[in-house]
Amino acid sequence: MLAQRVEGLPVFRVTCPHCRTELTIDPRTRRVVDHRTQEEIQQRPDEKWDAVVGKIEKARSEREAKLEEARRREAERQRHLEELFRKAQEKAREAGEDGPPAGPVW
């Protein structure tokens, strides 16, 4: 066990014997505040940066795909509503003014 200070607070860094990850434990709360896998521990700083940038770009592309899908669904919904409105107008024209009212009579 290695006690280190992180941001002025004493913490313990422990290696898990089962999965070999590095756990950072806060002694006050007795909780794991950070964990790093063996791959993350062995990465060079520039590799870590590339991994973070890759995650950000992936998240951005996923957001853009979701936004485009939402736009497509909204356009389809709008077309459907316009079609329903057009059919209702045609039905009202066919019924004419002589027919009974289309709603409840109060």
Q: What is the pLDDT of residues 19-29, one digit of tens each?
A: 888 888 888 88
Residues 6 or more apart whose CB falls under 8 angstroms from that of 69 comprise none
At residue 1 the predicted structure's pLDDT band, cuts being 50, 70 and 90, is: very low
Strands (E), the chain: 2-6, 9-15, 22-26, 31-36
Asked if the model's pLDDT at residue 79 lies above 90, the reply is yes
- The residue type of 47 is E
pLDDT tens for each residue of 17-76: 888 888 888 888 889 888 888 877 777 777 778 888 999 999 999 999 999 999 999 999
